[in-house]
Amino acid sequence: MKIEQKIVVSITFNLGLILLIGLFSLQDLNLVLTKLRFTAIADELNASFLEMRLSEKNYFLYQDAAALEEIHGNLERTMSSIDSASADIASAIGNQNLKTLKVYVNGYATVVEEVRASRLRGSDAQDRLRREGRQLKDFSEYVTRAERDRVQGIISSSKRFFFFSFGAVFLLALGVSHFISQKILRSLRAIETVAKAISAGNFDTVAGELPHDEMGTVLQAVNSMSEELKNREEALIQSKKLASIGILTAGVAHELTNPLNNISMIAQNYAEYYDQLSREQRIDLMSQVDGQAHRIEEIVRNLLDFSKPKEANLEVSDINETIRTALRLIRNTLEISNIEPKLALAEGLPPTLIDQHQIEQVFLNLVVNAVQAMGPGGTLTIATGFDAVDDQVRVEVTDTGRGIAPEHLPHIFDPFFSTKGVEGTGLGLSVSYGIIRNHQGSIKVRSAIGVGTTFVIELPRYHEPPRAEKAGG
């Protein structure tokens, strides 16, 4: 359900509850009004009964014949007012009580009629009249009192009902708004995480099933924005590459000029002094030519690697083996620079799914950088380990070189950024960065001037896919 619908539903529900409470209260109020109307009638009746009793007393004490007529008149009025208000009375005290009242009134009327007709004055008639009169008055007073008590009861229970039901409505509203705001906050936090990742250049998306509400729509928008940014970034890198072909051409021309010049100068001397040269000298010159040719080949290959990222050829591999292979390739350079690499390779590392050649290339780039940063005699340390929390295999390449200036750190992975002047193409780290990224890994750097630099590579651990049951037959 959408948040808007949830809010509308919860508000409607609460309003409904309040309305229901109002209806109940209105009913209570009507009941109280009915009862009050009855007590007004009852008071009137009680007054009439009292008057009748007084007339009764006058009749017996003072032999006042007119007193009987008064009782008779009073009774007539009382009966007619009971009849006219019978609906109200019945709804207040119930039909049974109304019937009982009528029975008492009729009983009293019968006795009064008998006394009036026969002009009786004996103690027998007096007793009957008094008994009937008292019964009528007592019953009437009892009913009135009971109804007053019930009115009190209704009012106080109505008060309690109000208190509890409004409490319940309040708590319900509080609970629902808390639930909805928690839901919104959770989604906002997910967005915050992604936004932070995006601003750090990591185009992540919100994982897991998205809620089917407005936040879900927002999260989906954030996800598609992230995807779009990722695509744009790739397009941007590609166009950056194209735009820098001009710069690259100049750079490559410059790079190639030196080995070409070397070959040319060797060739000139070789031709000029051919007769004076010993066999060994000739071989030495030609092997130098070969070395320079390799240098050119290297430049061209780097250039191709940069301009045409190849499809990765992924194999399940032990990263320690890849490091050892890379070191074998660069052994000469290390020996010339008098650098003995220190290896701290963790035993029993989980496997990774990598393109051997590409990852070797990354290590070669890092080691060459380290050697160039240190000069002869520095310490190069390569350590591996497994981060169980992130499920990542980690490689740290540390040198004791001159370090990277803090203002250069953010740019070292940019294409064509180089602090090495003529020695670097500014492509090594950029290519490495691309390779590690294609492996769903990360490459980070920390450096301190005069202390050294550490590159940290993290690659996801390879998980054997669950073996599918072979279908029969």
Partner 1 sequence: MEQHRVMIIDDERIVGDMAKMSLEQDGYLVETFLNGEAALTRLGQERFDVVVTDLKMKGIDGMQVLKAVKTLHPGTPVIMITAFANLDTAIAALRGEVHDFFPKPVKIKELKASIGRALEKRA
Q: Where is 446: in which H helix or E strand?
A: strand 442-448
Other C-beta atoms closer than 10 Å to the C-beta of 131 total: 13
Q: Taking Cα atoms as reference points, which of 68, 59, 39 lies closest to residue 140?
A: 39
* CA–CA gap between residue 199 and residue 206 (Å, rounded): 15
Q: Stretches 56-64, 192-200, 271-279, 393-401: which one binds partner 1 (CB under 8 A)?
A: 271-279
Binding partner 1 (rule: CB under 8 A), the pick from 181, 238, 268, 338 is: 268
Cβ closest to partner 1, residue 15 vs residue 250: 250
Cβ closest to partner 1, residue 210 vs residue 266: 266
Q: How far is the CB of 269 from partner 1 (least distance, A)?
A: 5
Cα 300–chain centre separation? 51
Cβ closest to partner 1, residue 303 vs residue 323: 303
Burial (0-12, 13-18, 19+ Cβ within 10 Å), 61: exposed
Cβ closest to partner 1, residue 123 vs residue 338: 338
Binding partner 1 (rule: CB under 8 A), the pick from 10, 135, 262, 381 is: 262
Which residues in the 281-300 window bind partner 1 by CB under 8 A?
Answer: 288, 292
290 to each of 285, 330, 390, 423, how far by Cα in Å?
Answer: 9, 18, 47, 20
DSSP code per residue over 342-409: EEEPPTTPPPEEE-HHHHHHHHHHHHHHHHHHH-TT--EEEEEEEETTTTEEEEEEEE-SS---TTTG
When asked if residue 258 is in the footprint of partner 1 (CB under 8 A), the reply is yes
When asked if residue 264 is in the footprint of partner 1 (CB under 8 A), the reply is yes
Q: How far is the CB of 188 from partner 1 (least distance, A)?
A: 52
* # residues near partner 1 by CB under 8 A: 20
When asked if residue 307 is in the footprint of partner 1 (CB under 8 A), the reply is no
When asked if residue 266 is in the footprint of partner 1 (CB under 8 A), the reply is yes
Binding partner 1 (rule: CB under 8 A), the pick from 201, 208, 421, 450 is: 421
Cβ closest to partner 1, residue 387 vs residue 423: 423
Matching residue, tokens 């820098």: 244
When asked if residue 422 is in the footprint of partner 1 (CB under 8 A), the reply is yes
DSSP code per residue over 50-93: HHHHHHHHHHHHH--HHHHHHHHHHHHHHHHHHHHTHHHHHHHH
Q: Stretches 101-109, 167-175, 209-217, 270-278: which one binds partner 1 (CB under 8 A)?
A: 270-278
Q: Stretches 66-74, 86-94, 169-177, 264-272: which one binds partner 1 (CB under 8 A)?
A: 264-272
Binding partner 1 (rule: CB under 8 A), the pick from 95, 193, 224, 269 is: 269
Sign of dihedral through CA atoms 347, 353, 356, 362?
A: negative
Q: How far is the CB of 405 from partner 1 (least distance, A)?
A: 16
When asked if residue 260 is in the footprint of partner 1 (CB under 8 A), the reply is yes
Q: Point out which residues bind partner 1 (CB under 8 A).
A: 253-254, 257-258, 260-262, 264-266, 268-269, 272-273, 276, 288, 292, 421-423
